[in-house]
Amino acid sequence: MAIDIHSAILDQWKLIITEINYYPIFFTAHELLLCLSADADLQKALIELSDTALKVVACRASLRHDLAGRIYHRLLEEAKYLGAYYTAIPSASLLLKLALSPDHYKCDWSNIESIRDLRIADLACGTGTLLMASADVVLDNYVRACVPNGTQPEITSLHHTIVEDIIHGYDVLSSAVHLTASTLTLRVPETPVNTTHLYRMPLGGNDHALGTLDFLDKYDIAGILFGQTEQVTGKGKGAAMGATIPTLDLCVMNPPFTRSVGDNLLFGNLPDKERKPMQARLKKLVASNNIKASITAGLGSVFAALGDKHIREAGTLALVLPKALLCGPSWKPTRDLIANSYFVDYIITSQHVGHWNFSENTSLSEVLVVARKSKLKTGLKANTTYVNLWRQPANSIEALSIAREVADDDLPDLLTSPVGKEVVVADQKFGEAYRIDWREISEKSWSMPASFATFTLNKMLMELTTGKLCFPGERTVYELPTCRLDKLGSLGFDRRDVHDGFTVAKSKTQYPALWGHGSDVAMRLSLSPNRWLSPRSKAAKGRPLRDANELWKKAGRILLTERFRVNTMPVTATYVDEPVMSNVWWPFNLRDKLTIEDAKALVLWLNSSLGVMTLLGFRVETEGAFIGFKKPILAQLPVLDVSKLASAARRKLAHEFDAVKEKDLQALPEMTNDHVRIRIDKAIQKALRLPDLSGFRALLEREPIVCNTMDRLLPLSI
């Protein structure tokens, strides 16, 4: 007689629910199975699922991975609105292996009672990928500490300590928190875990709850009707109770990315009538509590500030955030918070084309940051390790091997060493690593030492910001007359201001404009107006009305790119014979004493290989080759100081500009064969008495951010 597997599973799951404690999994599964008709198709499907489950269970190592979380991330429909892009498992392994370096914690790693005092939290834990990785590293540290002492590790006991005492997780999605509890407890399936510190936080409702962010001005969050704080235990939902955040040894997060610009997706999974009061409440909380965060940057900035409030002295902050953290103006409050209270131990970026991210279900460029909290900062030297990944680890084994390679006390210094360290795992080059004194960058752009995949270009960029240049293989240091861009003039208004004062006209007016920045529009050093503007008579919906005449005072003849796709767009700056405004270019006006010759020389420099490298070093990266240039950052851009050039050199550069201004430039990936770019470089070379730039130009062209492929960056294996 055939077994009725449908009834058998229902009986077993009911037994588990009532007699054991994996309620978060089996109650939902039991209720779902009750809704299905017990026919032949279901019988066949359940047999196949059972066979697959047995294969998974037979491989105990698979139980250590967040399998359910992977499925959950794929199916989550609200990811865009929640900013819920969950960390890839290899990225989590790499981040936590570095963040939980045993030497940085006052803990006897061979003693479970000592480890019990550790507190690790993820304030936006999702399905618990980062918490799972934390548990793995704590276990690894424990086993490694036991071996020299000849102590037999008590794995089960430690695991219970991790789940019941050490790990704290908070999220607004009940399903995600239940999955976190399930994956943590199933690591030791033969023994029940009765208590966790995993909480589903209320979001929205009559009180406009902000989830974990309510801790910005509260010590604990009490339950509220129909939206109470929910503590997840092995037996399911705990009673409505107060949740707290303890003093933390490690706060690790991949917080939501949603920002308050554009369509304002903050809390975007909720209806407008509920979302707007929440946005207003969050803004008030940040302002009234003097929270060092920018809502414009998004919820990630606020979560970082919240984490900082609960980290003890010498504790660690480990983050997965948009790469804009490193230099974006809206992220400056977060950078200031970290620079004033922390040493940054690691900054890890990905130069892997198509894998600029460390989270799943997104293609946005991201960064991993590990920082140690310390009040004793004045005058102290501490090195920051930069890791530029040429390829992302495909699994946790590769990730842990990379962590071991970069956790080196004797890495080369970016400013003084000729080469960086090759990060090699199993004969494959995964990238390069090097160090720089934290004091050199803490108050500057954190992105410059990681602007390019190769150590050589990053070193050259750092040197060029000080007016010096040393080419690979040469000992000669060349002095260049450089200055900040804002020393030569001023940038105009951004596109939002332009749209607040003008509309595009249907005929010629007294307000010419250069509109658009496609590769078919911007291919030459000199362009002509292609649109005309009309002053607004009334404000656009939801926007203020700007005075068109005041805006026009900042129209300019020099235009610098505002948004740029590195692998397709040829021109970074252009010159127009009359002042214009633009929607995707920054107008730039030279100060009064500078001439048209100066303007042409400056535009020529900005389109030379050296000028392009410098611009790329000051980019704000959104998604790999799609980048932007923000006004406060461009103001600091080191450029050729045309005011200090000898008159003959300035005249020659202006003459060369006139000679090539109507010739089409090729896209940057073709710069080594672009006759116009080569001619520009030769003009700069002669004017500044530099060596041949062809080798440098070829090096820049091979960069992944430029050519949008890894094929030119060889060798990838050694």
| Tens of pLDDT, residues 633-665 | 999 999 999 999 999 999 999 999 999 999 999
- pLDDT for 229 equals 57
Which segment of 83-87, 477-481, 559-563 scores lowest on mean pLDDT? 83-87
Position 63, amino acid: L
- pLDDT for 53 equals 75
Q: What is the mean pLDDT of the chain?
A: 87
Helical (H) or strand (E) element with 558? strand 556-561
- pLDDT for 714 equals 58
- Tell me the CA end-to-end span of the chain in Å, nearest whole number: 61
Note whether 454 and 429 are within 8 A (CB): no
Helical (H) or strand (E) element with 698? helix 694-701
The alpha carbon of residue 204 and the mean position of all alpha carbons in its chain are separated, in whole angstroms, by 27
Residue 67 has pLDDT above 70, yes or no: no
Band the pLDDT of 380: cuts 50, 70, 90.
low
**Looking at the domain that runs over 482-707, which CATH code has it been given?**
3.90.220
Is the model more confident about 71 or about 451? Answer: 451
CA–CA distance, 318 with 98 (Å, rounded to integer): 9
Strands, E assignment, 571-693:
573-582, 585-590, 620-623, 626-628, 638-640
Residue ranges in 35-88 assigned as alpha helix (H)? 40-58, 67-75, 79-82
Residue 717 has pLDDT above 60, yes or no: no
- pLDDT for 80 equals 43
Q: DSSP code of 465? A: T
Band the pLDDT of 716: cuts 50, 70, 90.
very low
CA–CA distance, 341 with 239 (Å, rounded to integer): 38
pLDDT single digits (tens) 235-280: 555 555 578 999 999 999 999 876 554 444 567 566 777 788 888 8
Band the pLDDT of 224: cuts 50, 70, 90.
very low
pLDDT single digits (tens) 564-586: 899 988 999 999 999 999 999 99
- pLDDT for 183 equals 81
pLDDT single digits (tens) 350-363: 999 999 999 987 88
- pLDDT for 81 equals 44
- Parallel, antiparallel, or unpaired for β 563-565 and 203-204? unpaired
Is the model more confident about 437 or about 221? Answer: 437
Of 263, 254, 266, 335, the closest CA to residue 295 belongs to 266
Question: Could you tell me the two tokens for 146?
Answer: 């036991």
CA–CA distance, 646 with 644 (Å, rounded to integer): 6
Q: Compute the half-sphere exposure of residue 374: CA atoms within 13 Å on the CB side of its CA.
A: 15
pLDDT single digits (tens) 119-167: 999 999 988 999 999 999 999 999 999 998 888 999 989 998 999 999 9
- pLDDT for 433 equals 97
Neighbouring CB atoms inside 10 A of 407's CB total 16
Domain borders along the chain are 5-58, 341-466, 482-707
Of 269, 342, 271, the closest CA to residue 299 belongs to 269
Q: Which residues pair with 533 in a beta bridge?
A: 504
Band the pLDDT of 65: cuts 50, 70, 90.
low
Report in angstroms the alpha-carbon separations of 18 from 11, 239, 672: 11, 18, 71
Residue 16 has pLDDT above 80, yes or no: no
- pLDDT for 66 equals 54
pTM of the model: 0.88
Residue 521 has pLDDT above 80, yes or no: no
- pLDDT for 34 equals 83
CA–CA distance, 111 with 105 (Å, rounded to integer): 13
